Structure 1
Amino acid sequence: MRMRAVGVATGLVAALLALAACGEPVPAAPPETASTSGPVPSDSSSDSSAQPSPEGSAQPTVADPDHSVPPPGRLTKTLVPPDILVYSQQALPDKLTERIRKAKGVTDTERLSLAQVGIENRVITVGAVDPASYRRFTRLESATLQEAWERVAGGELAIDPALGKKLQDDQGYLKLGNDEDAEQVHIGAYTFQVPRVDAVVNEKWGEALGMRLGNALLISTGFDSPQVVQDRIQDIVGKDLSVQILGPDLDPDAVQTAFLTGGSVAQAVGTFSYRVIGGGRIAPDPAWVSSHIRTEPVPILGSVTCHTVMIPQLRAALREVQTEGLADKIHPGEYAGCFYPRFIANTTQLSLHSFGIALDLNVPGNQRGTVGEMDRDVVEIFKKWGFAWGGDWGYTDPMHFEMNRLVEVR
C-alpha cells in the first residue's frame, strides 16, 4: 500500500497568516517574527482521516474587494492527496475533463488555472483556485487553516513560506511578473501548496492576471498506483498534454508547460512545452525555439542568442552605451549569455534565461549579494530601453538584466 501524501503537521511553521488591523492588509510576518495573536495555528493532534476545521472568522477580512469572491465555509469534506497533474497551454475542454473524471482509478479531481510569473529571474507557478475546494488537496495543516482560505477569497495570496519570505516587499506584497506594470497582490498567508504550485490566488485574480482559465486538473487516485492511472489519462488526453505524477521532484518523463503571465512582455514571449533533460537543464519545444529565439549581431557583445522581442531593445541599449563613450564599461569576454534553458540552481523553477529575455554582463565583478561593479550610467541606459537590473533587488544580482517592458525602437 502506498504511503499517502496527507500527514500530520509537525510544527507551526507550516502555515503563518498575515492578519489585518482594522480590516486593512498588513505585511506578512515571517515565521520567527509572527505575533502570537496573528498566525492561526494548525491542528497537529488529528489524524489524516479526520476532517478538523477551525471555525472561520466572524467577519472574514476582504483586503481587495475588486478581486474578492464569496468566502469559503468551514471544511467538511475529507482531504485527498494530489497524485497527478494534467496541465495544458489552453483551457481543458469540459468533455475531456469529464472523461478523465470517469477514468478507472480516478477518485477525486479539482479544476484550476496555472501560469508562471517571473520574479527576480525566478519563475514561480501560481494557481488560480476555488479556495473552498482546492484546499482539500493540500496538506492537513494548510487545508484546515480556515482564515488562510478566507484571505485568498478576499483577494490576497497564499504562498509557500520560504518563497514568501524571500520575495515579498517591505509591505508584504508580491509583484506577479517581471513586467514593470505587473500586478501586485498582498500576501495573506504562508501555506504549503500542492507539489508544482508555489502560490495561489482566487479565480477572479486569475482573470485579471490573464491566465488560461481551467487549463489544469489535479487528480487523486485513491489506492490505485498513480503510474498506472497516469498511463490511462495520457491515452485520453494525447501525448502533447502534460500528465505528471506529483512528488518532490519533477516527473522526468512528462511534458512540462511554461506559460508566462504578468504583463505585456509575458504576452510577447509566448508559451512553450519542455522536457527535463538533467543537470538542471530543460529542452524547450523546438518549434517555439525556432519561432522565438534568434542569433543576431549587436554592438559591443557581437553575436547574441536571445528572444526576438528583446534583441531590438538590447541592440538600442548597447548602441547608446557606445554613443555615450561607455563601451569599455561592458566586457564582451565576461558576457555569460542570454538564452539558456535551465532551472534556478537547486530548484525546479525556471530562470528567465529559459525564455531568452535576460542576460548577464561583467560576471566576475558582479556576483550575487554584492553591490557589484556595473557602471551606473550603463545601468540607467539599460533601464531606459526596458530592462530591469538585478542590482536593485533585495538579494542583489548586479550582473543580471532582464526585459521588463516593451519599448518601441525606431
Structure 2
Amino acid sequence: MHGRRGAGTRVAAAAALVLLLGACSGPTEPDPDADPDPAASSTSSEPSAEPTVPVADPAHAVDPPGPRKDRLWSADVLVQWDKPLDDATVKQIKRLKGVAHTERIGLGQVSLENRVLTVAAVDPAAYRLFTRSDVADLQEAWDRVAGGELATDEKVARRLADDDGMIRLGLDDSAPSLHVGAYAPQVPTIDLVVNTAWAPDIEMADDNGLLISTDGTTPASIRKPLERLVGRGASVQMLDVASRLGLDPDAKLTAVPTGGTLGSLVGTYRYRVLGGGRIAPDPDWVAANIRTEVVPILGSVTCHKDLFPQLRAALLEVQQRGLADEIHPGEYAGCYYPRFIAGTTTLSNHSFGLALDLNVPGNQRGTVGAIDRDVVAIFQTWGFAWGGDWKYTDPMHFELAEVKRPG
C-alpha cells in the first residue's frame, strides 16, 4: 500500500489504512472484533513504468481525482434532507456567518445484516478534502472509489464483506454488490462511500446532503441560523460532537432508507436521541405505520403495518404444517423497538417494526441456532431474510426483505 503524504502527515499510522487490491479475497473471520489480516497484495507480478488508475466497474466509474492540490477542510456540520437540495438554499447557507466551505453529497441509509448504515454518494476529489489528512492523501483509495469500488472503515468491512470482498447494499436480491476498494476512516456518521454514478442503482439521491466546514468557528454557533434556513424537515448534525459521542444528541436525525422494499415501506424516518440507547421517532410516522394486532401462535404483537400480511401468512403455514410447537411464544423478543442496537448508535430494522426475534434462548448471536429449519424455510418463502444466513449469525432474527402479498 502506497499513498503520498505531506511532511506534516508522515507520522500518521499507515496501518490504519489498508487497501483491498484487485480481486483479492475479503476477510473470512466471522468475529467482527477479530484483528484484521495484514493487508493486501497486488494481483500483478509485473512492475509498471507508469502508475495506472484501477477501474473495477467501468459502468459505474467517474473521472479519477488525480493528486490532491486543494487545501483540506474540517468536517464540522452535516445536513441531510429527504429530497435533493435546491441551489437557492445552498447559496443562502454559503452566505451564513461562520460557513467557510460546503460540498454537496448524496446520503441514504441501507440495511445490512440488521444494521442501518449511512452511505454517501460523492465526488471523490471534493469529498476527500473533508477527510483527515492521511486519508485524503491516500491516492489509491480515491482512485478506487472513482473506479466504482467502495470505501469504508475496516471494522464494517470485516463484518459485512463476503469472501470476495463484496458488500451488497440493501436487502433486496436486486441490490447492487460493490467491491471494497479501500479501508479508510470516513467523515463522522458516514459508514460507506461510493461515487455518484452508483446513486441510481442504490435508489438514493446524489445531492440531498451538505457537508459544511466552519474552519475554526465553533460549529454550534451556526446551528440555530442553519436550522431556521433549512427548515424542520432537515437533519442538522454537529460532527465535532458526533465524533465523540457517535451522534449529535441535540439533532433531529433523519434516515432515508434506500432500495425497493425498505425504502417503499419506511419512507423518511425522523427521530431524536433520548439516552440509554432509546430514540423517539416522529409521532406522525409512528401513528401512520405502527400497529398492534393478533397473529397465529404469537398472539398480540406490535409491528409495522405492512409486516402483518406476510407474518400472518408465514405463521399460519407453520401452524398448518404441524410445526406450531417449534415456535415458543414465551421466547418471542419483540418486533418494534425504537432504540439503537445495544452498545451502538446504529438503528436496526426493529426501529421500523420490520423485524422480529423468535426462540431467543437457543438462537444467540454467532451460533448456528436451534430453530427448526422448516420454520426458517417457510419464513423465507414469505419474504423474510433469516439472520442465520449472515456472516456473523443471528438465528433468532427474521426481517422483511421482500414484499409478498398472500393470494
The normalised TM-score by structure 1 is 0.90
Show the counterpart of 1:116.
109
Q: Give the conservation status (yes or no) of the 8 Å contact 1:87–1:243.
A: yes
Please give the secondary structure, in 2, of the residue aligned with 1:158.
strand
Show the counterpart of 1:288.
285
Show the counterpart of 2:352.
355
Shift of residue 9, structure 1, vs aligned partner? 5.6
**Superposition pairs for residues 54-69 of structure 1, below 5 Å?**
58-69=51-62
Shift of residue 37, structure 1, vs aligned partner? 5.3
- The aligned length equals 383
Determine the C-alpha separation between the residues in 2 that align with 1:213 and 1:394: 30
Please give the secondary structure, in 1, of the residue aligned with 2:159.
helix
Q: 1:36 to 1:386 in 2, by over 3 A?
A: closer
Determine the C-alpha separation between the residues in 2 that align with 1:187 and 1:129: 16
Question: Among 32, 37, 40, which residue is 1:32 paired with?
Answer: 37
After superposition, the C-alpha distances for 1:246-301 in whole angstroms (9 at most, x for unaligned) are 03221111110011113334322222111011111111111111111111111001
Question: Among 57, 65, 68, which residue is 1:72 paired with?
Answer: 65
Shift of residue 401, structure 1, vs aligned partner? 0.5
Please give the secondary structure, in 1, of the residue aligned with 2:108.
strand
Determine the C-alpha separation between the residues in 1 that align with 2:325 and 2:97: 65
Show the counterpart of 1:50.
none
Q: Give the conservation status (yes or no) of the 8 Å contact 1:104–1:229.
A: yes
Please give the secondary structure, in 1, of the residue aligned with 2:204.
coil
Determine the C-alpha separation between the residues in 2 that align with 1:299 and 1:356: 18
Show the counterpart of 1:53.
none
Show the counterpart of 1:273.
270
- Residue 215 (structure 2) pairs with residue 222 (structure 1): yes
- Residue 159 (structure 2) pairs with residue 172 (structure 1): no
**Superposition pairs for residues 143-292 of structure 1, below 5 Å?**
143-246=136-239, 247-248=242-243, 249=245, 250-292=247-289
Farther-moved stretch of structure 1 (7-16 vs 316-325):
7-16
Using the aligned pairs only, state the percent identity: 56
Q: Give the conservation status (yes or no) of the 8 Å contact 1:14–1:142.
A: no
Farther-moved stretch of structure 1 (205-214 vs 94-103):
205-214
Shift of residue 136, structure 1, vs aligned partner? 0.4
After superposition, the C-alpha distances for 1:88-136 in whole angstroms (9 at most, x for unaligned) are 1111211101110111110011100111111111111100000010000
Please give the secondary structure, in 2, of the residue aligned with 1:310.
helix
Q: Give the conservation status (yes or no) of the 8 Å contact 2:19–2:40.
A: no
Show the counterpart of 1:331.
328
Show the counterpart of 2:32.
none
The normalised TM-score by structure 2 is 0.90
Determine the C-alpha separation between the residues in 1 that align with 2:41 and 2:400: 42
Determine the C-alpha separation between the residues in 1 that align with 2:264 and 2:133: 36
Determine the C-alpha separation between the residues in 1 that align with 2:365 and 2:15: 28
Gaps of 5+ in 2: 1-7, 28-34, 44-49
Farther-moved stretch of structure 1 (168-177 vs 86-95):
86-95
Determine the C-alpha separation between the residues in 1 that align with 2:25 and 2:55: 15
Q: Give the conservation status (yes or no) of the 8 Å contact 2:81–2:208.
A: yes
Show the counterpart of 1:305.
302
Please give the secondary structure, in 1, of the residue aligned with 2:37.
helix
Q: 1:401 to 1:276 in 2, by over 3 A?
A: same
After superposition, the C-alpha distances for 1:218-257 in whole angstroms (9 at most, x for unaligned) are 1010121111112221121123321110032211111100
Show the counterpart of 2:376.
379
Please give the secondary structure, in 2, of the residue aligned with 1:33.
coil
Q: Give the conservation status (yes or no) of the 8 Å contact 1:183–1:262.
A: no
Q: What is the one-letter code of the residue matched to 1:347?
A: T
**Superposition pairs for residues 75-154 of structure 1, below 5 Å?**
75-154=68-147
Show the counterpart of 1:41.
none
Please give the secondary structure, in 1, of the residue aligned with 2:68.
coil
Q: Give the conservation status (yes or no) of the 8 Å contact 1:9–1:140.
A: no
Please give the secondary structure, in 2, of the residue aligned with 1:309.
helix
Determine the C-alpha separation between the residues in 1 that align with 2:61 and 2:273: 37
How large is the RMSD of aligned CA atoms in angstroms?
1.7
Farther-moved stretch of structure 1 (57-66 vs 89-98):
57-66
Determine the C-alpha separation between the residues in 1 that align with 2:221 and 2:57: 43
Q: 1:89 to 1:35 in 2, by over 3 A?
A: closer
Show the counterpart of 1:49.
none
Show the counterpart of 2:392.
395
Gaps of 5+ in 1: 1-5, 39-56
Shift of residue 59, structure 1, vs aligned partner? 2.3
Determine the C-alpha separation between the residues in 1 that align with 2:306 and 2:231: 31
After superposition, the C-alpha distances for 1:166-211 in whole angstroms (9 at most, x for unaligned) are 1101110001012232211111111110001011000010122111
Q: Give the conservation status (yes or no) of the 8 Å contact 1:158–1:191.
A: yes
After superposition, the C-alpha distances for 1:281-325 in whole angstroms (9 at most, x for unaligned) are 111111111111111111001111111221100000000000000
Determine the C-alpha separation between the residues in 1 that align with 2:229 and 2:219: 15
